[in-house]
Amino acid sequence: SSHRKSYGQRAADHSNPAAQLLLHTIERKKSNLAVSVDLTKTSDFLKVIDVVGPYVCLIKTHIDILEDFTPDVIERLKLLSAKHDFVVFEDRKFADIGNTVALQYSSGVHKIASWSHITNAHPVPGPSVITGLASVGLPLGRGLLLLAQMSTEGSLATGSYTDDAVRMARAHREFVIGFIAQRRMDHVGTSPSSLPDGVEDFIILTPGVSLEMSGDSMGQQYRTPEKVILENGCDVIIVGRGIYGKGTGDALDVGCVALQAEKYRTEGWNAYLKRIGS
Ligand code: 5IU
């Protein structure tokens, strides 16, 4: 299983350029930490990204929560991505018919496909959500994550829904590079010989990670980096408030944010080293 291979070795099991970029970036920076920058002011958003940039493989955005969005934000985000060598993932969670998601992905104010290496979709509409997004994203070398599970209490994305998400992904491996999930997915039944090339490698990015908190007041449930990487076999830890706190305006303590990012990077990487047995 891919579980005990190094990130760098696994890049060879992917044809998608965004998957290769992510795995090589993780290896190069020795970081499986992604920071989710859920801040509403552009100045805070860019400041946190610049501070955590050295410690992360990936920055996850919710571009539609910025109150003062202008296209210049994207130019600055691209500059920071080049400066700090991180991948960009817009957590858009597409969930409509193929024609609509293609428009939402390419157009509107945010033009997500033009700058985000990776985005994600709910499998609830069926395979057409993948083919709709792929019509825009594949020519640009983008990659897609399917939402196979969620971290929230009472989530409906469980059992056969999760398994069917994996089957949908297997049928579209050129574009679907992995999952947002709580654990690795290779338990979903298949014989390796039924796979096109006998190899299956999906990258698992997992949200709901904190060292200190067990949840929030709105249904979020947290696990530690060690638990998700070592026990649950996930590949990338996604951390938001555990790193930037409440993150409102003046309260943003840049030194503290950098320390937290370094701490989560170390926790995540050490858990990975244990997993691959080195
Ligand atoms: N997120 C989750 N859980 C999920 C999915 C996405 O928390 O199951 I799918 C997003 C929401 C937020 C980030 O943008 O990940 C987690 O932020 P905190 O670490 O601040 O809880």
Choosing from 60, 91, 224, 232 the residue with most ligand 1 atoms within 8 A of its CB, the one to mutate for a pocket test is: 91
In angstroms, what is the span from residue 184 Cα to ligand 1's centroid?
17
pLDDT in tens, 78-122: 999 999 999 999 999 999 999 999 999 999 999 999 999 999 999
- Name residue, tokens 């130019």: 75
Q: What is the pLDDT of residues 111-160, one digit of tens each?
A: 999 999 999 999 999 999 999 999 999 999 999 999 999 999 999 999 99
Cβ–Cβ under 8 Å, residues 36 and 48: no
Is residue 249 predicted with pLDDT exceeding 60? no
pTM: predicted TM-score of the whole model, two decimal places: 0.95
Overall residue count recorded for the chain in this entry: 278
If we measure between CA atoms, which residue out of 20, 5, 1, 4 comes closest to residue 199? 1
38 Cβ inside 6 Å of ligand 1? yes
Question: Choosing from 5, 30, 41, 93, which is the catalytic residue?
Answer: 93
36 Cβ below 6 A of ligand 1: yes
Percent of the chain with pLDDT over 70: 94
pLDDT class of 187 with cuts at 50, 70, 90: confident
The CA distance from 41 to 249, in Å, is 8
pLDDT at 189: 72
The answer to whether residue 250 is catalytic is no
Q: Taking the CB of residue 80, how many other CB atoms lie within 10 A of it? A: 17
Which DSSP letter does residue 223 get?
Answer: B
**Is residue 60 within 8 Å of residue 91, measured between CB atoms?**
yes
Give 262-266's long-range contacts (Cβ < 8 A, gap of 24+).
262/55, 263/211, 264/33, 264/55, 264/209, 264/211, 264/225, 264/237, 264/239, 265/30, 265/31, 265/33, 265/55, 265/56
Q: Compute the half-sphere exposure of residue 219: CA atoms within 13 Å on the CB side of its CA.
A: 6
Amino acid (1-letter code) at residue 263: K
Instruction: State the average pLDDT over residues 226-236.
Output: 97
26-50 confidence digits (pLDDT tens): 999 999 999 999 999 999 999 999 9
